Chains A and B, each alone.
Chain A
Amino acid sequence: MPKQRRKFVVLIVAFTIVTFGWITIGTGADEVPYVSISHLLSEGHTMVQENFRLGGYVEEGSIVYADDHLTVEFTMLQEDARLKVRFTGLAPDMFKDDAEVIVEGRLQGDLFVANNLMTKCASRYEVDLTEPGIEAHMEI
């Protein structure tokens, strides 16, 4: 192999390794594991990551707004597990009782302090006619 060509090959290989290292190694700090509430409560303290993503439902009647309406606390349900969540900011349009939500944040004692609150709606752009609640709603 000519010398010039070898130099290029070495460079490309080195670049590829550096890129791949750059992409993969630094991931740790930004990792947000998607865990269940019970998993977080039982094993969260043993995990290296600080931020977690949880999915569940808003317990009916549990939403409490602070006076300024900016901080909201509610209880999130997932199967048998429950967790109190606090979020500060403008809650999304579809946030209400029984809504399916995803929160991101960290656990502080018994309270999950969320820095992100998303409402999940599988039928956001599509009405699923087979989903029981939806058909009922459409009868209105």
Chain B
Amino acid sequence: MVQLGGTLLQIAFLLGVVTLVASAWYVKTLDLRFYVGGRRSLMTACGLVLIATATLVQQLMVGNYALEYVARYSSRATEGLYKIAGLWAGMEGSLLFWAAILSIYILLVSYSNRSANRSLMPYVNMVFAVVLLFFLLVIVNFENPFTLLPAGTTIEARGGTGLNPQLTHPAMLIHPPMLYLGYVGFVVPFAFAVAALITNRLDATWIRSTRVWTLWPWLFLGVGVILGGYWAYAELGWGGYWAWDPVENASFLPWLTGTAYLHSVIIQEKKNMLRMWNVILIMITFILTIFGTYLTRSGILSSVHAFASTDLGIWFFGFVVLIIAFCTALLIWRKDELTSTSQLESFTSRESGFLFNNMLFLALTMAILWGTMFPILSEAVRGIQITVGSPYFNRITSPIGMLLLAMIGVGPLLAWRKTSRSTLLRNFKWPVSTGLAAMAVAMFLGVRKFYPALTLGLVVFVFTGIVLEVFHGVTARKRMTGEGTWTALLSMVDKNRTRYGGYIVHIGILLMFIGFAGRAFTKEQDVSLGKGESMVLGGYTFTLDNFYTQQRPTHTAFVADVAVTREHKPVTMLHPERRIYANFEETPNTEVAIYSRPLQDIYAIVGGMNPDTQKIVLKIMLNPLVQMVWIGGFIMMLGTLVTIRPSRAERKLRAAEA
């Protein structure tokens, strides 16, 4: 019964091949039956993949420990929802999860285009089929989650190993699915771009058709990356949220190029420029998602995320090379048609603002990619593996980040085509002066570090620009329509959701930058304390009231009670723990204690006890402004949703059509 899952995947594979052949035949003969047949077999294949995935989830839930995969990533002790998390905890399951999400996207796209884009869809379906076939091939032949354990294996009797306790954190229920939804979703605009190239329909139709299909994956990927940071911060206990780990970088890279793409398509929609550029950007983004999956799954780079290394790498690498070759060939074939008809007229125009923004995003992508690949490149060239860690990444990305931050403010202040000197002066006068003023005040108040002071200045500069934009918009609308302030604001946002949703996203980014700047002021101390002893850090007194061991159902916990006071007034009690879980005796687990306030987190970790001195080791950190990163991320999400939601006029139109 259980192996049925594997059989379903094999049938899905065959149906994928049928899709390829039928769609190709339709393109040749224009016999509509083949188009419909190809489409139906693709949708059926997707349905089968989803059923197979549901089977695995069901096996994880009921705990069929005869399946090797279930025995490894679930156990009797694993709690309810975390049993589902087993689906993406291991290699086999996560590849199946990839295929399942791809199937959902394919089904949704097929449904929403059932009577639209008839000329593009056969090619879109073919691209979908190729990607799905690749994943099914890998799953069925190398990483089949429906493999039974050899008879008489001990873990079956023991009721499974269970999920690694570090992964039992609520963020882990959402972070991987979000990342996958983001990663996989970029296949949709990619498929449309390829279809547009092949059919030579290079106007903005394919971009408009995929607008929503780009925004959702971009949102999911962004939320996934931020949640990953949150998990690292709340669970791993080193006090940070971003370590420039290869796998983190792999998820960040397609987000960066995707962001560049979201900006540059605006130019194509408005001006029919940058057509080649947009196609290239979405190709790079898609390639980076596959490449990211390759980095994660192959184990060629050592990382905290390292899955056991496998020989899968070569397949993924081959697939990446194949896609690059295919894309390059397509671009060369269509290079004449892709050349823009209109041109940039001036440096001080909205168009060139977008262009600089794009160049900065690509520079950032290149810098991070270079650092990530450096160990491999240096080994190939110099024969010695050389890593470049956080210092490299921080030093290289900071100035590019600052320029990008500045561009967030500069872009919207520039006019289309050409900005006259007087407009330039009028638009920049207030933002620049408030930015400089903020910088001066910050330095006066003792912010002597260069980047934090600059960040603050730029944030205020950008924010003033946005506020003025909105203010002018609302005033003009009030004058025109006689609406009240709120009505005017809401209808203005509704009329131009891309723009104002974008501003909300920008405000989220500003908050995140403030959070990043806060890291420069982190205070940290490792200390060894006995019962009743205390230490002082940043004006707070930390007293170790007690420490003890507690037996709990799933683990044994070593707990420290730390009282935090400031000027003799109690602030909070922190209870950092070190847990030892059944099945994972060899790997104690840090349970961080965090006291969060908008301006500062107090962060405590407990290490081991020295039996000779009866003292324990504590790590105490004061992390200013970390909350801004999470709040900023949340605002970013809201802004994207504002952009995604159709305007009232569009909704009416759709209702009328339906």
| Separation of A125 and B624 alpha carbons in the complex (Å) | 31
Instruction: Give every chain A residue within 8 A of B387 (Cβ-Cβ).
Output: 31-32, 34, 53
Interchain CB contact (< 8 A) of B389 among A4, A20, A32, A124: A32
B588-625 vs A, CB cutoff 8 Å, 1 = contact: the mask equals 11100000000000000101101011011101000000
- List B residues 364-393 near A (Cβ within 8 Å): 366-367, 370, 374-375, 384-389, 391-392
Known interface pairs A2-B343, A5-B343; A93-B587 also in contact (CB < 8 Å) = yes
A5–B344 CB distance below 8 A:
yes
| Separation of A60 and B391 alpha carbons in the complex (Å) | 33
Please tell me if B275 contacts chain A, counting CB pairs below 8 Å: no
A69–B386 CB distance below 8 A:
no
- List B residues 384-424 near A (Cβ within 8 Å): 384-389, 391-392, 395-396, 399-400
Q: How far is the CB of B47 from chain A (nearest CB, A)?
A: 30
B586–A124 CB distance below 8 A:
no
A122–B343 CB distance below 8 A:
no
Please tell me if A123 contacts chain B, counting CB pairs below 8 Å: yes
CB-nearest residue of chain A to B616: A69
Instruction: Give every chain A residue within 8 A of B355 (Cβ-Cβ).
Output: 8
Please tell me if B1 contacts chain A, counting CB pairs below 8 Å: no
- List A residues 27-44 near B (Cβ within 8 Å): 27, 29-35
Please tell me if B164 contacts chain A, counting CB pairs below 8 Å: yes
Please tell me if A70 contacts chain B, counting CB pairs below 8 Å: yes
- List A residues 92-127 near B (Cβ within 8 Å): 93-94, 104, 120-127
- List B residues 417-475 near A (Cβ within 8 Å): none
| Separation of A45 and B166 alpha carbons in the complex (Å) | 40
Interchain CB contact (< 8 A) of B307 among A49, A90, A126: A126
Stretch touching chain A among B107-115, B153-161, B279-287: B153-161
B396–A34 CB distance below 8 A:
no
B305–A125 CB distance below 8 A:
yes
B385–A69 CB distance below 8 A:
no
Known interface pairs A32-B386, A32-B388; A23-B615 also in contact (CB < 8 Å) = no
Interchain CB contact (< 8 A) of A69 among B309, B396, B607: B607
B367–A125 CB distance below 8 A:
no
Interchain CB contact (< 8 A) of A35 among B343, B384, B617: B384
Known interface pairs A123-B308, A125-B89; A90-B617 also in contact (CB < 8 Å) = yes
| Separation of A35 and B395 alpha carbons in the complex (Å) | 24
A69–B585 CB distance below 8 A:
no
B307–A20 CB distance below 8 A:
no
Instruction: Give every chain B residue within 8 A of A139 (Cβ-Cβ).
Output: 154
A90–B610 CB distance below 8 A:
no
Instruction: Give every chain A residue within 8 A of B392 (Cβ-Cβ).
Output: 26-27, 30
B329-361 vs A, CB cutoff 8 Å, 1 = contact: the mask equals 000000000000001111100001001000100
Q: How far is the CB of B106 from chain A (nearest CB, A)?
A: 29
| Separation of A3 and B58 alpha carbons in the complex (Å) | 66
Known interface pairs A4-B344, A23-B367, A32-B387; A122-B308 also in contact (CB < 8 Å) = yes
| Separation of A34 and B363 alpha carbons in the complex (Å) | 27
A69–B164 CB distance below 8 A:
no
Known interface pairs A8-B344, A89-B526; A69-B613 also in contact (CB < 8 Å) = yes
Instruction: Give every chain A residue within 8 A of B399 (Cβ-Cβ).
Output: 22
Interchain CB contact (< 8 A) of B586 among A2, A53, A137: A137
Q: How far is the CB of B602 from chain A (nearest CB, A)?
A: 17
B607–A15 CB distance below 8 A:
no
Q: How far is the CB of B416 from chain A (nearest CB, A)?
A: 16
Please tell me if B527 contacts chain A, counting CB pairs below 8 Å: yes
Known interface pairs A12-B359, A93-B578; A24-B527 also in contact (CB < 8 Å) = no
B615–A34 CB distance below 8 A:
no
Please tell me if A46 contacts chain B, counting CB pairs below 8 Å: no
A138–B585 CB distance below 8 A:
no
CB-nearest residue of chain A to B385: A34
Please tell me if A128 contacts chain B, counting CB pairs below 8 Å: yes
CB-nearest residue of chain B to A32: B387
Q: How far is the CB of B159 from chain A (nearest CB, A)?
A: 12
Known interface pairs A23-B396, A68-B528; A126-B389 also in contact (CB < 8 Å) = no
| Separation of A90 and B589 alpha carbons in the complex (Å) | 14
Instruction: Give every chain A residue within 8 A of B616 (Cβ-Cβ).
Output: 69
Please tell me if B90 contacts chain A, counting CB pairs below 8 Å: yes
B610–A126 CB distance below 8 A:
no
Q: How far is the CB of B277 from chain A (nearest CB, A)?
A: 11
A33–B386 CB distance below 8 A:
yes
A69–B307 CB distance below 8 A:
no
CB-nearest residue of chain A to B302: A120
A34–B375 CB distance below 8 A:
yes
Interface centre among B345, B384, B613 (most CB of A within 10 A): B384
Known interface pairs A33-B386, A93-B587, A123-B308; A69-B617 also in contact (CB < 8 Å) = yes
Instruction: Give every chain B residue within 8 A of A126 (Cβ-Cβ).
Output: 72, 90-91, 307-308
B566-595 vs A, CB cutoff 8 Å, 1 = contact: the mask equals 000000000000100001011111100000
Q: How far is the CB of B619 from chain A (nearest CB, A)?
A: 5
| Separation of A137 and B586 alpha carbons in the complex (Å) | 9
| Separation of A127 and B347 alpha carbons in the complex (Å) | 57
CB-nearest residue of chain A to B388: A30
Instruction: Give every chain A residue within 8 A of B608 (Cβ-Cβ).
Output: 69, 91
Q: Could you list 7 A-B pairs, sorted by A, with CB under 8 Å?
A: A19-B363, A30-B389, A32-B388, A70-B617, A89-B526, A90-B526, A91-B608
> Measuring CB to CB, which residues of chain A are less than 8 angstroms from any residue of chain B?
2, 4-5, 7-8, 11-12, 15-16, 19-20, 22-24, 26-27, 29-35, 49, 53, 65, 67-70, 88-91, 93-94, 104, 120-129, 135, 137-140
| Known contacts A68-B615, A126-B91; 7 further A-B pairs (Cβ under 8 A) | A23-B363, A30-B389, A30-B395, A31-B386, A69-B610, A90-B526, A126-B308
> Measuring CB to CB, which residues of chain B are less than 8 angstroms from any residue of chain A?
68, 72, 89-91, 154-155, 158, 161, 164, 166-167, 302, 304-309, 343-347, 352, 355, 359, 363, 366-367, 370, 374-375, 384-389, 391-392, 395-396, 399-400, 526-528, 578, 583, 585-590, 605, 607-608, 610, 612-613, 615-617, 619
